[in-house]
Structure 1
Amino acid sequence: MAKKVVPETDRRRRKPTKQGVVLTEEMIVQTALRMLHEHGREGLTVRRLGVALGADPSTLYRYFRGTDDLTLAIADELIGRAMRGWRASGDWRADLREVGLRIHTAYLNHPEAAVLTANRVSGRANEIATDEAILGILRSAGLPDPDAVRIYQAFIDLTLAFAALDAASLALPEAARAADEEVWRATYAQLSPETHPNIAATAPLLVARMNDSAYPTALGMLLDSAGATLGAG
């Protein structure tokens, strides 16, 4: 005979932990985010998470099927933080730009978590609500569904790709990140115009720009393309 399935709510711990608190999924995710910030991806283990929560590590499996399930919950939390308080204004371009910048910023606020989750599809509530909002912005602007989906894909992939790229830089040890940033001034700006005329001609601009994220520029280009599609339609 098959075993009776225990409802998820019944599997969760009701007794306080050693620290006197009752665990919740939200509490575990918040603690995991803090541990990622403090110890990096390698420092986030079930054992360490249990210690931080004052609970037996096995208790976590009452809330998540495993560490991958926890990773998806973290991804959804970042999206939720990004969209908290957002309201559509009715201006499709301004709304899409704000959503993109919100997501990018939320990921950069948690670079270790961003590197861990930016390529994942969680299928959880915050992610689904955000996808619904983005598609709503595009369809409300008057784009046919094929164009709305095409631009949606480009928009979300562009946003998450830059989030992962920029977060990976922020997640580097400080000395390594500083050394990378210095290359533009110490190496590129010193190249001879006789051997590298194009780099030499643009060196001051490269030094001023290349250590900043190109996401706002790329986002603007995508919005221009969407606007052109809308105008042509």
Structure 2
Amino acid sequence: MSGRAGRPGPKPRLSPELIVEAAFRVTERGGAAALSFTALGRELGAHPTAVYRHFRDRDDLMRSLVDALQGEVLAELPENPPEDWAEELRARDMVTHEVFMRHPQIAQEASVRTARLPNEYRIIDQVIGIFRRAGFDDEDTARYYRVFSDFVLAYSAQDAALLALSPETMAGDLGAWQHEYQTLDPDEYPNITAVARHLPALDDPANFALAVDLMLEGLRSRHAATMAARAESEAAVAPGTVES
């Protein structure tokens, strides 16, 4: 395809969707740093300036890649989510993590960028809706949404960043927990050596699952306290019983 750029003859009809698909291929081969309109032109067999008809600049394109990643999350959410609000959050988190692992290069961008595009709006609106249906007031909903969602994105991006390393670097980092950390001097590092044989691998999927469990336990505790306080407040303002 790269040989077509600049040659006479019919040019491929580009669309935002085709450009985004090509951008994913470019980043998955060479990382986010490899993404340029020149590289996209080569990938698409088109002149790089053709990309500018659909995206103003690289940042505009990157936000669309993040939004496409979020669209993939939306497409894979369970059709019949759990009725329990915390379990529904858990189900969404697992899908998010799976999609991030599938696209590690762009996933790192997705954890810190605000796409300001429809798929992002849909995800945020849906998650906020879960907190509101659970019974949290709007102020708590907004705060809990921010902290919980940022946690899920950050943890997923961290796991994605490991996959984005070169094979040699990733093997070295994973191996360190099986070798260096297992052979440290117990006199100098008594706490590490005491638990070293129990330390899970960096890429153990159970790590993310446990982290989500811990976050949800905290939210359930907050929810129980909120509901109890609300019931107590309502009881305090209820009219008294009039005796005959």
Do they fold alike, i.e. is TM over 0.5?
A: yes
CA deviation profile, 1:122-150 (whole Å, cap 9, x unmatched): 11000000000000111101111122111
Does residue 198 of structure 1 match 2:191?
yes
Amino acid at match of 2:117: R
Does residue 226 of structure 1 match 2:208?
no
Q: TM-score, normalised by structure 1?
A: 0.86
Aligned to 1:118: 111
Q: Percent identity?
A: 33
Match of 1:23 among 6, 14, 36: 14
Q: Tell me how far 1:120 sits from its aligned partner.
A: 0.3
Amino acid at match of 1:205: H
C-alpha distance in structure 2 between counterparts of 1:166 and 1:66, whole Å: 28
C-alpha distance in structure 2 between counterparts of 1:211 and 1:50, whole Å: 35
Q: How does 1:1-233 map to 2 (within 5 A)?
A: 21-86=12-77, 87=79, 88-206=81-199, 208-212=200-204, 214-233=207-226
C-alpha distance in structure 1 between counterparts of 2:33 and 2:172, whole Å: 23
Q: Which blocks of at least 5 consecutive residues in structure 2 are unaligned? A: 1-7, 227-244
Which segment is superposed worse, 152-161 or 68-77? 152-161
Amino acid at match of 1:31: A
C-alpha distance in structure 1 between counterparts of 2:202 and 2:70, whole Å: 27
CA deviation profile, 1:89-146 (whole Å, cap 9, x unmatched): 3321111011112112211211111123321001100000000000011110111112
Deviant stretches of 4+, over 6 Å: 17-20
Give secondary structure in 1 for the equivalent of 2:114: coil
Q: Tell me how far 1:59 sits from its aligned partner.
A: 1.1
Amino acid at match of 1:79: Q
Q: TM-score, normalised by structure 2?
A: 0.83
Which one has a bigger Cα radius of gyration?
A: 2
Amino acid at match of 1:80: G
Give secondary structure in 2 for the equivalent of 1:136: helix
**Contact (CA 8 Å) 1:18, 1:55: kept in 2 or not?**
no
Give secondary structure in 2 for the equivalent of 1:68: helix
CA deviation profile, 1:165-195 (whole Å, cap 9, x unmatched): 1111111110111011111121111123333
Q: Tell me how far 1:20 sits from its aligned partner.
A: 6.2
Amino acid at match of 1:161: A
Q: Which blocks of at least 5 consecutive residues in structure 1 are unaligned? A: 1-16
C-alpha distance in structure 1 between counterparts of 2:39 and 2:203, whole Å: 35
C-alpha distance in structure 2 between counterparts of 1:219 and 1:179, whole Å: 27
**Contact (CA 8 Å) 1:79, 1:127: kept in 2 or not?**
yes
